[in-house]
Amino acid sequence: MKAIYSFLFATLLLASCGGPSIETPSDEVTVESLKESIKEIDDSLYILMEKALETDGFEIDRLVYHEGANRGIEFYKNFPEDEYAPYALDKVIGMYWALNIEPKTVEWLDTLITKYPDYPGIMGALERQKSVYDSFDAYNPEKIKYYTNLILERDDLSPEKRADFELRLQHIDKPFEEFIFLLNGDGSNAPVEVEEIN
């Protein structure tokens, strides 16, 4: 549970960088008013997460996460061309991830990946989306291949990570657990030779 709180905390911290708030009438929907409403929920979640980390048994009400997701979606739907829109979507993804609502997480990850391929956090989004389909419950070789190929198209991918993703594609026929066993089945951590993918 602490890992989820840490992930959400990092997401909120990364995406909450906005300008100063501008007061507007409550019925007027502007970039600034929606950013301020997102910041309010971020601030509340920050306080609640600190309390959850410090207090055994304390759980954050799921409605707070749902409200955070709704505010991010509202921003995206009203201002999809604004530079803050992908950050708002990343917050939506973090909220659904914390709620463990995989279909919504996948849906909004796909939107972020499709609509904002140049978003600074796109690599993390691609890796998260790939990992969803490379899990025990949702193993889907076609989706793994699709998202892995999108990752491999990136110029900013390190040689080490590139080799890891290429290796995964070579063994796409194996669910992740079997793939890991293949790599470490003999108890060693010896490097596995990587074939070139065409």
pLDDT for position 138: 80
pLDDT at 104 over 90: yes
Q: Rounded CA gap, 172 and 170, in Å?
A: 6
Q: Which amino acid is at 167?
A: L
pLDDT above 50: residue 194: no
Q: What is residue 26's predicted lDDT score, i.e. its pLDDT?
A: 55
pLDDT of residue 135: 81
Reported as a pLDDT band with limits 50, 70 and 90, residue 160 is: very high
Taking 90 as the threshold, does the pLDDT of residue 16 lie above it?
no
Q: 8-17, 19-28, 132-141, 160-169: which has the minimum mean pLDDT?
A: 8-17
Residues 6+ apart with CB under 8 A from 91: 11, 12, 15, 38, 42, 68, 69, 72
DSSP 85: H
pLDDT bin (cut points 50, 70, 90) of residue 108 is very high
Are 130 and 148 in contact, with CB atoms under 8 Å apart? yes
Q: Which pTM was predicted?
A: 0.74
Average pLDDT over residues 175-184: 86
Q: How far apart are the first and last CA of the chain?
A: 41
Q: What percent of the chain has pLDDT over 90?
A: 66
The Cα–Cα gap between 124 and 24 comes to 34
Q: Which residue has the tokens 């708002």?
A: 88
DSSP assignment of 99-136 equals HT-HHHHHHHHHHHHHH-TT-TTHHHHHHHHHHHHTST
pLDDT in tens, 40-73: 999 999 999 999 999 999 999 999 999 999 999 9
Res 15 pLDDT > 50: no
